[in-house]
Amino acid sequence: MNTYKILSFVGLWMLTACTSDFEEMNTNPNNPDHIDQTELLLPSIMNTTARQYFDTSANRANILGDYQEDTFVSMFASAFDPTDTERYFFTALRDVQNVINQAEEKDEKHLLGIAYILKSWMFQVMTDIYGDFPYSEALKGKTDGISYPKYDTQEEIYYDILDKLKQANDLLAEETGETISKDLIYAGDVVKWQKFANSLRLRMLLRISNTTGVKVDVKGCLEEIVNHPEKYPLMESNDDNAVFTFLDEEGNQAPSYTDTPASFNESWFMTTTLATNLKELNDNRIHIYASPTRASVAEGKREFAGVPNCLTQGDEQKFNGGSTFNSTKSNLFLNRTLDPVLASPTAPQAILLTYAEVQLHLAEAKERGLISVGEAGVYYHNGIQASFEYWASRIPSNFTYPVASDVLPSSSYYEQASVSYTGSKEEKLNKIYLQKWLALYFCGFEGWSEWRRTGVPTEISVNPPKGFHSNSSIKEWPRRVPYPMFEQTYNNENYKDAVERQGTDNLTTRVWWNK
């Protein structure tokens, strides 16, 4: 999507050219600007968004969450330069707004509810990455002629998203007779969409639960949700996960299957943070989150080793003895060029929100006294178990390693002192936070956001082990991502207002809920 069409949604994001004849020159007769059957927009929205989120999960978010290492990205310099950071903007937002506009005109309540949820999720992701963001005036170029939308505060955005998600739940609860046949996430199941909406509310309410001066009753909202499951259903199993499954057909396979091998295996290593925590917990997810080192496999063993982020290139090449002694991504993310037999076009999914995350949020809420329903220990156990079962379920049937039994834990896993739900309140919460971070692997930026909120895992740092050197351009781990250069250039007045209000436009200025 090019130039001034972009003005109709979030500022001038992804602006690439300028011409007075733009509309004429850039109208594609095979890609009409208006579609009368609104739901026909859904497959393209979902596919485009899923692919984009999957790709950023792999090459940027997994670095920010300190799950994987890459020397270039973890310099926290050119990989997060304003000329690069437009990659976090969802390019399908205009189509989502078109669905909303047409569904409102036609009184298509279920379609409107789904569109509200998709838009809310996208803006939740974006505001958590950037902070203050064009929102209330965004996506109004066509309807209101707003070419340069103001930046709303993240606080205002959060409140409106929470309201929109509640509206979406109510719209989907109505009996309308609608049939949504183009839904690639939930196959038109409106109850599952309700669960997604309320589970996203849960995520957002927990995220702001430690923020001072919040103008919503976080505890009251949480209690309303959990005390009325018939009205505000939450995810109840992995079957309710908000995930996008790729197809085994050209153009629709998982990005890990089709993209260049270097992007997904050869130069990306498991971090020491992830390796250390998985090993200390005797956690079998290490088999699906990473691959055994090539050196150990050559000796008939399966050993795992991580590499710290922020190493200089020379130090990275000698850490643990070199790349053959370090663990890359798991076989689940194999590229077809690397291994056309084992690589799977459908096994990896784009993960938006899962039942495991929901249960671990509920465990935290109960332990902190934010809800009165349920038992924190039960929620905690359910969340851990759901994470193991989800990842085991994604293993292709032709794999000889890993297989489900390599990943699923024995009962003794839960009996370990480091896992069992025992100890002081602080110790229990730290166990919840760590398990939540582990469960959020490859779920976009959510593991990073949870670390920003809780400080767990504590090992995340730009400082490598003694004897090695840091290549980080900053002195502390990133707290946000700078705005794209397009905004600085074309929406400059609104951009400057946001920076003056929020703080310096760099990687270490904190977003509203993290201050």
Each residue's pLDDT tens digit, 220-251? 999 999 999 999 999 999 999 999 999 999 99
505 token code pair: 């436009």
Residue 263 has what pLDDT? 54
Residue 262 has what pLDDT? 52
Among 17-21, 95-99, 226-230, 420-424, whose mean pLDDT is lowest? Answer: 17-21
Residue 38 has what pLDDT? 87
Residue 261 has what pLDDT? 58
B/e letters for 477-489, b = 16+ CB within 10 Å, e = fewer, are: bbbbbbbbbbbbe
Q: What percent of the chain is modeled with pLDDT above 70?
A: 92
- Predicted confidence band of residue 456 (pLDDT cuts 50, 70, 90): very high
Q: What percent of the chain is modeled with pLDDT above 90?
A: 86
| pLDDT per residue as tens digits for the range 152-183 | 999 999 999 999 999 999 999 999 999 999 99
Residues 6+ apart with CB under 8 A from 403: 395
Average pLDDT over residues 111-131: 98
Residue 3 has pLDDT above 80, yes or no: no
Residue 2 has pLDDT above 60, yes or no: no
Residue 179 has what pLDDT? 92
pTM of the model: 0.93
Average pLDDT over residues 110-135: 98
Residue 37 has what pLDDT? 82
| Secondary structure tally for the chain: helices H, strands E | 23, 6
Q: By the 8 A CB rule, do 205 and 214 touch?
A: no
| pLDDT per residue as tens digits for the range 472-499 | 999 999 999 999 999 999 999 999 999 9
In 174-293, alpha helices (H): 190-207, 218-227, 255-258, 261, 272-280, 286-289
% helix / strand / coil in the chain, to the nearest 5?
50, 5, 45
Residue 11 has pLDDT above 90, yes or no: no
Element (H, E) at 378: helix 376-393
| pLDDT per residue as tens digits for the range 372-409 | 999 999 999 999 999 999 999 999 999 999 999 999 99
Cα–Cα distance measured from residue 227 to residue 283, given in angstroms and rounded to the nearest whole number? 34
Average pLDDT over residues 211-222: 97
Average pLDDT over residues 310-323: 90
Residue 327 has pLDDT above 90, yes or no: yes
Average pLDDT over residues 313-325: 90
How far from the centroid of its chain's Cα atoms is residue 481's Cα?
A: 14
What does the mean pLDDT of the chain come to?
92
Q: Distances in Å between the alpha carbon of 132 and those of 124, 284, 430, 478, 495?
A: 11, 39, 29, 16, 10
DSSP 104: H
- Predicted confidence band of residue 48 (pLDDT cuts 50, 70, 90): very high
| pLDDT per residue as tens digits for the range 262-272 | 555 567 899 99
Report the 10 Å Cβ neighbour count for 11: 28
Q: Distances in Å between the alpha carbon of 183 and those of 100, 187, 234, 243?
A: 15, 5, 19, 12
Average pLDDT over residues 327-344: 91
Among 92-106, 247-261, 397-411, 432-446, whose mean pLDDT is lowest? Answer: 247-261
Residue 34 has what pLDDT? 55
| pLDDT per residue as tens digits for the range 55-90 | 999 989 999 999 999 988 999 999 999 999 998 989
Residue 266 has what pLDDT? 60
Largest CA distance in the chain: 68
Residue 287 has what pLDDT? 98
Residue 200 has pLDDT above 70, yes or no: yes
Average pLDDT over residues 114-138: 98
